[in-house]
Amino acid sequence: MPQIVSIIIAIGLVLVISSAHYAFTQFWQLGGVKKILSETKTELVLPAESSNKNIAQWIEPLVKNPEALIDTLIVSGPKNNEIITDTDQVTFKFRARVYPESIGSNIVFETKVSGIDSDWQETGSNSRTIRLKTGTNKYTFSVRAKSGGFIDNTPETRTFTATVSF
């Protein structure tokens, strides 16, 4: 009798392990996700100048829609929680990573600045210069990329404060 119980447990373990292996290998075969993650692993965990992106936010849209993945990154401009005092304008530069590359041939960006824009502003450029209001104001700059009918559903954002006296 104990041998039968051991055999049943062993069969159960084999089934669990093989099911987990199958699920794992199928996940990594989703349209080259493994290649994308290995190439951008450092940026996904700690994206340059970003505090709100992580691997789960980047993979989730791909799992929901495995045909395309768009990720928007801010590459320069005020950092999160930075205080600006020496200028009345700031410039943000941004870019997008697109997979598959074939949908990235015509990338359009949309930007929005809280306190300035009431809605998203579309641009074909990869930068935006913002004229800051006089006084002390807190701003949140957001940018998202669109391409091939797909849109980055996790816009990149930066919040900063500016004190303009002139």
Same domain, yes or no, for 60 and 22? no
CATH number at residue 129: 2.60.40.10
Same domain, yes or no, for 4 and 84? no
Same domain, yes or no, for 114 and 64? yes
pLDDT of 76 higher than 80? yes
Q: Higher confidence at residue 59 or residue 34?
A: 59
- Of the pLDDT bands very low, low, confident and very high (cuts 50, 70, 90), residue 27 is low
118-127 residues labelled b (16+ CB within 10 A) or e (exposed): eeeeeeeeeb
Same domain, yes or no, for 138 and 96? yes
Same domain, yes or no, for 4 and 41? no
Same domain, yes or no, for 49 and 131? yes
Amino acid 58: pLDDT: 53
Same domain, yes or no, for 26 and 65? no
Mean pLDDT, residues 82-96 taken together? 93
For all residues of the chain together, what is the average pLDDT?
A: 77
Same domain, yes or no, for 142 and 84? yes
Enclosing domain of residue 5: 1-30
Indicate the number of domains in the chain: 2
Same domain, yes or no, for 110 and 48? yes
Q: Which amino acid is at 99?
A: Y
The alpha-helical segments, DSSP class H, found in 46-133 are 55-64
Amino acid 103: pLDDT: 63
Same domain, yes or no, for 18 and 91? no
The closest of 76, 92, 89 to 132, measured between CA atoms, is 89
Per-residue pLDDT tens for 38-61? 444 444 444 444 445 555 555 555
